[in-house]
């Protein structure tokens, strides 16, 4: 078996795309979720409709977990996020 190795580039190339300067964690996490869901379709594992439904279901599960855990936070407070459909929700 051939051992795999990870090659890391020592220098980073700055983003020059239309979203340059506006990259946020939420946007990057949305991209990761979309890429994972789409790759399952490309692999022939799921139907195309599974993509959109899996994002919606995953979002609801994540929001439920965050809401349930919020009661255990000693700090209190709330946070606001934008859902996949563009609506804003505050927990």
Residue 73 counted as domain residue: yes
Q: 50 is in which domain, residue-wise?
A: 25-84
DSSP type of residue 82:
E
What does the pLDDT read at residue 8? Answer: 55
Residue 8 counted as domain residue: no
Q: How many CA atoms lie within 13 A of 70 on its CB side?
A: 14
Of 88, 89, 84, give the one whose Cα is nearest residue 53.
84
The string of pLDDT tens digits covering residues 63-76 is 999 888 888 888 87
Residue 41 counted as domain residue: yes
The string of pLDDT tens digits covering residues 17-65 is 777 777 677 777 778 877 877 777 777 777 777 777 877 888 899 899 9
């Amino acid at each position: 078996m051939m051992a795999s190795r990870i090659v890391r580039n020592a220098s980073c190339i700055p983003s020059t795309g239309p979203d340059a300067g506006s990259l946020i964690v939420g946007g990057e996490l949305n991209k990761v979720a979309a890429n994972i869901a789409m790759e399952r379709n490309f692999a022939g594992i799921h139907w195309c409709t599974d993509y959109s439904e899996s994002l919606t279901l995953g979002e609801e599960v994540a929001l439920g977990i965050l809401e349930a855990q919020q009661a255990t936070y000693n700090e209190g407070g709330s946070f606001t996020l934008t859902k996949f459909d563009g609506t804003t929700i505050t927990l």
